[in-house]
Amino acid sequence: MVIKDKAYGIGLPDMQIADGYSYERIPLGYLITFRSYGTWLHGTRGSVDRFHNVYGSPRLPSDEKRKQYNRGLLKQPPVKLGAPKRAAVLSAIKETCEIRKWELWASNIRSNHVHAVISASCKPKIILNAMKANATRKMREFCYWRSDTTPWVRGGSQKYLWTEKDLSNAIAYVLYDQGEPLPE
């Protein structure tokens, strides 16, 4: 049996164990997504919170009061990724994949989030953490990030890509379904 992820058209085999990792086979790749801090608050249309985070459940509707409340909780201003920061993040992702011998299939660094499709023989949380850490390091190296805090939200999305179709759908999603190209 295969369950379809509506957002990405990715098939997920039902043989996964509780933490999402199957020891029966290794996925062909992962779709890794993470957001910059403060740019996607609860109350924004389509957000997910800990009470509404069940597979297949609808995303939350827009709620301006909740969004304003969450904006007041921010510990630093929202982090927008302008062209120089996006270039540094892309450089860090490429460098990380090269050093760790991971296959980078596609990446797209947007103004408030990062997508990458990567093949690696490790759990996706390792990939996610390495990408965020090295992107931060690279932004600091170029003096684009001077804060002691992270420019990223906690966690991120880690979609398993089990088939060639899953992999090609994720690559197409990252390269062609993110809106207009951003200025360099």
The answer on pLDDT for 15 being more than 50 is no
Nearest C-alpha neighbor of 169 from the set 16, 27, 31, 33? 31
Q: What is the pLDDT of residue 6?
A: 45
Give per-residue pLDDT as tens, 117-169: 999 999 999 999 999 999 999 999 999 999 999 999 999 999 999 999 999 99
Q: What is the pTM of this model?
A: 0.79
Cα 47 to Cα 61: distance, rounded to the nearest angstrom: 8
Cα 161 to Cα 163: distance, rounded to the nearest angstrom: 6
Cα 17 to Cα 81: distance, rounded to the nearest angstrom: 36
2-39+78-176: CATH topology: Alpha-Beta Plaits (3.30.70)
How many C-beta atoms surround the C-beta of residue 95 within 10 A? 14
Q: What is the pLDDT of residue 20?
A: 52
DSSP 15-67: T--TTS--SS---SEEEEEEEBTTSS-BTBTT---TTS-STTPPPPPP-HHHH
Give per-residue pLDDT as tens, 18-70: 455 545 678 999 999 999 998 887 767 767 777 766 667 777 777 788 778 87
Cα 119 to Cα 166: distance, rounded to the nearest angstrom: 12
How many C-beta atoms surround the C-beta of residue 67 within 10 A? 16
- Across the chain, mean pLDDT equals 85
Coil, helix or strand for 121? coil
